[in-house]
Structure 1
Amino acid sequence: MIRVHGGFANKLYRLDTEQGSFAVKELNLVDNRGTYPVDDVFRFEQAAFAAGIPMPEPISAGRDTLVHRWVEGETVPEEPVPAAFAFEIGEILARIHRLDVEWTHEPIDEPTPHDWRELAERAAATGQPWADELASRVDTFLAIAHFVETCERPGPVVLTHRDIQPWNLLARGGRPVVLDWELSGMLDLSGELGSTALSLAKGPGFDDIQPDIFRAVLDGYVAAGGMLPSPGPSWFVFMVGGWLGFTRWNILRCLAGGTASTGPDLALSHESVRNGLRGLPGLFERLPDLETLIS
């Protein structure tokens, strides 16, 4: 198998055989952030593929290994996508949300992390290159954690992909292919729509957000029969909370040091920490402005 580098959480390989090419993903079970409901996700993927959702064909799923048929396509850069591409993503979401799939996994609500001051002290004591940056933003991260903990989620809750971001998409003939379904599960609809639409409407930061692309995702969702939830901060709390947890997870990996047997390389964890320390405060400050994208 040939290693394909660049994954943020797991390790990916390409396997070429006489029966075709396959993507083999080695799941990080050493320090992953949650349980992986193998049977539920695989059943969900099979139903989505059978319904014509553009995605790699699911071949097999085990406790630590996922196999899909390899799909050729162009990577989607982290920049505003074309309006037609965004519209089709909205349609795909509506189709996914209509799938009738049994989901037996009971979600476990992890407590929102409030140990940012302790993490900053440990980072300083171990000489982490971003320790000063974390220390200067402790109060901001505590405020972000409070927002995530107290923000009301109005519902409805849907079974969905939960992670449609540029790095989990391919473009084939200018049209989207949805990858990486292992984070699938139940989620408040507003959080799924807000996270997806914002990620497709912006560049690496938040200085280039195109409202027409954001709206194109929502227009596609409605055109395919979906109903939009009421506007409010709940549209962005899932994105903020997910990024908060991801940043903390990578901080802990950096504090542990060494090279983990699974998951991202240590250098990628350091990069992810820096991105979180700089990007999350910017996203948090812009929440009032982002709510205007919905209305």
Structure 2
Amino acid sequence: MRQCLADMWRKYRDVFYDYLGIILGTLIVALSFNLFFVPNKIAPGGVGGIATVLYYLFKFPVGTTMLVLNIPLFLAGVKVHGAGFGFKTLIATVLLSFFIDAIKLQPLTHNEILAAVYGGIIMGIGLGIVFRSDATTGGTDLAAKIVHKFMPYITMGWLLFMIDTAVVTFAGAVFGPEQALYAIIALFISSYVIDLIQEGLGSAKAFIVVSDKADEISKVILHDIDRGVTLLEGRGAYTQRKKDVILCVVSRTEVIRLKEIITAIDNKAFLIITDAREVHGEGF
């Protein structure tokens, strides 16, 4: 009985935090539009970018326009993916539209480059929080999912890129090439910040080492750098020789030192260094 109550509490707690994240995230995204993007004619892709352009062409409210554009996309998504498609996304879409129209604030800057940078950072933080809450704000995400259903040979990444490029091109035709460049800057910055929010700030480096002196290298890593090491069994496809493969994760500050240790012990070692996100466990 106690375990059942604990499981129920965790379930409702997770749901509460998800919706709290959706509210907070959409509020932050709305601030990026009202404080930076819309006053400076920056259309950072997606439905929000289209709504920004239409606001200056016809004075349509940005939030209302976003909602009107998202409704047919959402209905199409339900038809293609089923009735259970994206209830949280519907909530996030409505909240974002409401916050953009309801919050009336003076822009913080009229310098377009500052608006692109700060707006991109703030939008990335907001969207990252929404994504971590298992939702999206609709728009190009919905459009890309619908198109991907019928054209699965095109990746979601490429579909999103093509749709956002089309929106930025449209905005550039209306506002001019400089504003299009600012929109691209905002897009890149927001994408980077979204990754940071999704994957965490505590990034590290993973080392994969193939060496005939794996045992010796492992001992030095364990004792000198004080990091854990995993030895994997590998075999060369061409030589069919068995070799131990070292897997080790270190902080960024330890990368140079570990490279020097490996090359000093075996200058013929095959070494791969790659980014490691969301590292959990002892030492991280």
Q: Do they fold alike, i.e. is TM over 0.5?
A: no
Greater fraction of residues in strand: 1
Task: Give the TM-score, by structure 1 length.
Answer: 0.25
Larger gyration radius, structure 1 or structure 2: 2
Greater fraction of residues in helix: 2
